[in-house]
């Protein structure tokens, strides 16, 4: 669904949507909507009924009490419906209840005319009720028009049995007809406004859902395409991931390897492409895709005769051409087509970003494959003199937070303030006055590669023995901003203090701490199920949110966003478990950060 739908609806004079699915969705939603509007309508209706009862009493006294008591009963019914709409969160059929209440009130106006002699205020009462029914922002336009027209006709028929001249009958008929037209116009305008608001709300919700799906698809691509070095296979899998974000009916996949300036389709599915030319892509389209690196949209149209012989164009289908580019080279094209609506900006941006992400993964897989081959060749060559081994007493202290994850990271910083007890940074002095440096324990945070290697081994062990296994992916919120404002040393101190606290709360013989991204880390917890892992993550998050960290630039604070996942029967492998935890972290960051989310 796109903004084009709203534009088309604004230009038309139709009330209903042309899309049946959208129309049924709107009507289903209208059954329980209009709470505030119905409260206001019932309040006005009860006020008018009480006013009519008062007029009846003043005008006729006790001559005929049926209309007066009828108005009072209608007022009581309206007040009862008012309380139902006010206090019940999802009242059903407010439009039907309003129609019944309105018809009852108009019925007693007609009864007053029939049982008593006609008065001018009866026509005014009827006109007010007709306009009121039309101005309610709940009832549909056809129902409003039909009900008010029928009740106006019945009113005129009741006047026929009273001593009223033809002249006044005509005047009242014109008055009531005017009221019906005004009520119908108000109903028409208000229903179109309701429908436009529904369209905008539905489009916004659809856009939000698609953006979230788009983000998850970018994450899933890494798992699906990693290790694949065949370009045609990558193109085929790319189409599957586009399906979850973009709606289409037909598609063409092609790789341009060795096909020259006029590529032909490797794979084509769907009736919308059957009548296309064999070339499929003109020189202009190829040139535009190569130069702009953006998706190209087009439409197939036909000319049809409209009202009074006017010729107009009607769209048969809409097309989206997505370039697959790597290093400024056009490697392939994916063309999508649908007949429902044009492709919008989100379709264009999402398709290009998914294709670009796929090419990045493809390049990485190709590079890794070549590195494996080179490593095998080196392994078969004679070994050169080995590097000196690192002595157990050697400790390398990293002074700032590095952006690479290729090596293990040793951290010795432990300057943090417990939220329940203040503590200064730097070396502590003994009470006797002797200056003596505190012993600092070195914590090794494994590189992403080493932690993943250990994680795969522990995953296989847990799978064989049937033990639970969970992983936490933790990101320190705002660490990049802290690095930009106060420098790497401050960011490192906060990062190292948080790592030290987490390290002090894990099982050092079983759990594995590894780096994850520039501002985060992963914690692999064997023999811990998902519920226990979530409680542990929440404990860490609460502590860090209260803690303060002493730096050269004053006290600093931080929060954590944590994604949790566990090994299940459907997990598949270690990589998919990590991917689910990463998706849970994405949801945690999207929900405002400083929270824990679980991905089943």
Domain at 409-421+440-598, CATH homologous superfamily: Reverse transcriptase/Diguanylate cyclase domain (3.30.70.270)
Q: Which pLDDT belongs to residue 535? A: 93
Least confident of 245-254, 411-420, 536-545: 411-420
Rounded Cα distance, 111 and 159, in Å: 10
Do 231-374 and 409-421+440-598 come out as alike in CATH topology? no
CB 95 within 8 A of CB 143: yes
How far CA 362 is from CA of 327, 376, 489, in Å, comes to 12, 21, 36
Q: Is the pLDDT of residue 97 over 60?
A: yes
Give 206-216 pLDDT, tens digit per residue.
777 777 778 77
What's the pLDDT score for residue 539? 93
What ranges do the domains of the chain cover? 3-203, 231-374, 409-421+440-598
**Measured between alpha carbons, how far is 289 from 410 in angstroms, rounded to an integer?**
48
Is the confidence at residue 522, as pLDDT, over 80? Answer: yes
The two tokens of residue 435 are 């200056």
What average pLDDT score do residues 422-439 get? 39
> In this predicted model, what pLDDT tens digit does every residue of 526-553 receive, in sequence order?
999 889 999 999 999 999 999 988 887 8
Q: Which of 112-126, 345-359, 379-393, 541-555 has the lowest mean pLDDT?
A: 379-393
| Tens digits of residue pLDDT in 457-485 | 999 888 888 889 999 999 999 888 888 88
Note the pLDDT of residue 90. Answer: 57
pLDDT, the chain, mean: 77
114, two tokens: 């029939």
- Which long-range contacts link 390-396 to residues 24+ away (Cβ below 8 Å)? 395/442
Radius of gyration of the chain (CA): 36
pLDDT (average), residues 407-430: 47
Please tell me the distance from the alpha carbon of residue 261 to that of residue 431, in angstroms, as a whole number: 83
* Cα 303–Cα 304–Cα 305 angle in degrees, nearest 5: 135
Q: Which of 147-156, 173-182, 221-230, 590-599 is predicted least confidently?
A: 221-230
Length of the chain: 600
pLDDT of 596 reads: 93
User: Does CATH number 3.30.450.40 belong to domain 231-374?
Assistant: yes
């Amino acid at each position: 669904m796109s903004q084009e739908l709203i534009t088309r609806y604004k230009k038309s004079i139709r009330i209903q949507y042309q899309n049946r699915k959208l129309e049924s969705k709107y009507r289903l939603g209208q059954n329980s909507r209009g709470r505030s509007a119905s409260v206001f309508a019932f309040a006005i209706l009860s006020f008018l009924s009480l006013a009519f009862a008062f007029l009846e009493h003043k005008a006729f006294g006790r001559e005929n009490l049926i209309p007066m008591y009828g108005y009072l009963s209608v007022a009581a019914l309206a007040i009862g419906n008012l309380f139902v709409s006010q206090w019940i969160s999802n009242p059903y059929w407010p439009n039907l209840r309003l129609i019944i209440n309105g018809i009852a009130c108009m019925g007693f106006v007609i009864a007053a005319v029939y049982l008593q002699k006609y008065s001018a205020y009866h026509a005014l009462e009827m006109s007010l009720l007709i306009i009121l029914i039309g101005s309610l922002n709940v009832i549909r336009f056809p129902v409003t028009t039909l009900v008010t027209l029928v009740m106006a006709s019945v009113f005129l028929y009741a006047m026929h049995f009273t001593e009223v001249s033809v002249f006044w009958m005509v005047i009242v008929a014109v008055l009531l007809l005017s009221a019906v037209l005004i009520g119908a116009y108000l109903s028409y305008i208000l229903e179109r406004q309701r429908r436009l608001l529904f369209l905008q709300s539905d489009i916004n919700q659809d856009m939000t859902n698609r953006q979230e799906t788009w983000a998850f698809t970018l994450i899933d691509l890494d798992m699906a395409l990693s290790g694949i070095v065949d370009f045609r296979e990558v193109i085929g899998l790319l189409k599957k991931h586009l399906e979850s974000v973009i709606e289409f009916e037909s598609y063409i996949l092609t790789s341009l390897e060795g096909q020259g300036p006029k590529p032909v389709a490797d794979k084509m599915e769907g009736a919308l492409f059957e009548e296309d030319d064999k070339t499929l892509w003109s020189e202009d389209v190829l040139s535009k895709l190569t130069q702009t690196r953006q998706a190209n949209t087009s439409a197939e149209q036909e000319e049809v005769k409209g009202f009074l012989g006017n010729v107009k164009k009607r769209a048969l289908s809409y097309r989206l051409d997505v370039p697959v580019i790597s290093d400024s080279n056009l490697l392939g094209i994916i063309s999508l087509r649908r007949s429902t609506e044009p492709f919008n900006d989100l379709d264009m941006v999402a398709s290009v970003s998914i294709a670009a992400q796929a090419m990045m993964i493809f390049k990485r897989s190709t590079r890794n494959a070549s590195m494996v081959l080179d490593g095998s060749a080196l392994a078969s060559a004679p070994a050169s003199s080995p590097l000196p081994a690192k002595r157990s007493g050697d400790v390398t202290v990293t002074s700032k937070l590095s952006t690479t994850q290729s090596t293990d990271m040793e951290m010795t910083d432990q300057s943090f303030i417990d939220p329940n007890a203040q503590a200064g940074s730097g070396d502590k002095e003994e009470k006797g006055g002797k200056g003596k440096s505190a012993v600092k324990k070195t914590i090794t945070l494994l590189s992403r590669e080493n932690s993943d290697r250990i994680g795969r081994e522990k995953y296989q062990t847990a799978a064989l023995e049937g033990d639970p296994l969970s992983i936490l992916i933790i990101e320190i919120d705002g660490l990049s901003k802290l690095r930009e404002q106060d420098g790497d040393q401050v960011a490192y101190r906060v990062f190292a203090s948080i790592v030290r606290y987490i390290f002090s709360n894990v099982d050092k013989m079983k759990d594995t701490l590894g780096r994850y991204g520039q501002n985060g880390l992963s914690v692999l917890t064997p023999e811990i199920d998902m519920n226990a892992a979530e409680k542990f993550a929440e404990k860490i998050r609460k502590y860090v949110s209260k803690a303060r960290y002493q730096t050269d630039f004053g006290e600093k604070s931080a929060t954590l966003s944590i994604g949790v996942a566990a090994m299940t029967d459907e997990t598949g492998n270690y990589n998919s478990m990590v991917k689910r935890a990463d998706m849970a972290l994405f949801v945690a960051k999207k929900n405002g950060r400083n929270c824990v989310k679980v991905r089943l």
